[in-house]
Structure 1
Amino acid sequence: MIDSRRWLWIAGLLLLGWLLYLLQPILSPFLIGVLLAYLGDPLVDRLERWKLSRTWGVIVVFALFSLILAVLLLVLVPMLGKQLMRLYELAPQMIDWTQQQALPWVQAKLGLHNGFWRFDQLKAAFSEHLGQTTDILGMLLSKASASGLALLAWLVNLLLIPVVSFYLLRDW
């Protein structure tokens, strides 16, 4: 009797996992909204103790979250882009170092033959396409907007997150 219950629980958990997997595109904005509401609830509670209404507290917290998001987008994204460009520029030098220093050491330790590694082709590919890095953002945007329905679904999900967060924070 205990074994049959165990198998029933395992089957139920597998079915639940399968359903969550299928509903993931629908549930993700709600889960992100719940997370944001959970993070903002202590701030709204504190603002409420300072004699601010719950709705105005939620608006203040949303303004704070929006400010943080704007700072992240305006400061961190360009910095990350510059660092990625620098990494892309240094890739041929890193391949040279790997080919001249690290790989001979690995070959000696593992007893591999001399023609085992072929990094000349990779280095040539990096050097050849180094000047084409400015079109990466345009290429990504064109790929992302290739499917109008996918773009529409992404925008709806993006708009649904603050709505869910607002109502959860407001009526917590």
Structure 2
Amino acid sequence: MSGSRSEWVCGAQIALCLRWEDGLVVRIETAWAEDVRETDPLSEAASGLQAALLRYEARLKPDWPDLPLDFSGMSDFLRNALEELRRIPSGTTRTYGEMAAILGRPGGAQAVGRAMGANPFPVLYPCHRVVGAGGAMTGFSASGGIEMKKALLRLEGAEQGLLPGLE
């Protein structure tokens, strides 16, 4: 698979778009499933992603497929931040400040915010689990914005009473 192409994979609520370049996924975009049309036919990789997305939406363990993601050109900080995202349990959150401390940058909440905004693989690397101080729903640059962030957290079973910004 060479060149550039895109594939939309739809679940019941959420859609993910794989942006391919020369056989690697360089970006995953989010959208509301009702706003896009699924690609037909789906590649094997996209079919695996769709199966995982449907499990995710059913509040089951998604078992995200091992996609050929392109991490080239990323800073060490961004790579470390992405790996740390995968350690945040589903349905729970960390604040930007907590992430900064874990990543060895106490006081670096803004740097974490920039890294989350640069995350090319949202949902697979769940930047929606990073919230502002006190659970404030801030900063989600993926399509759908804060409402998408809230929807993803709800799908994971996050509880409104524990997250003040989750109405």
The bucket for the TM-score relative to the shorter chain is under 0.3
**Higher strand content, 1 or 2:** 2
**Higher helix content, 1 or 2:** 1
Q: Please say which structure displays the higher CA radius of gyration.
A: 1
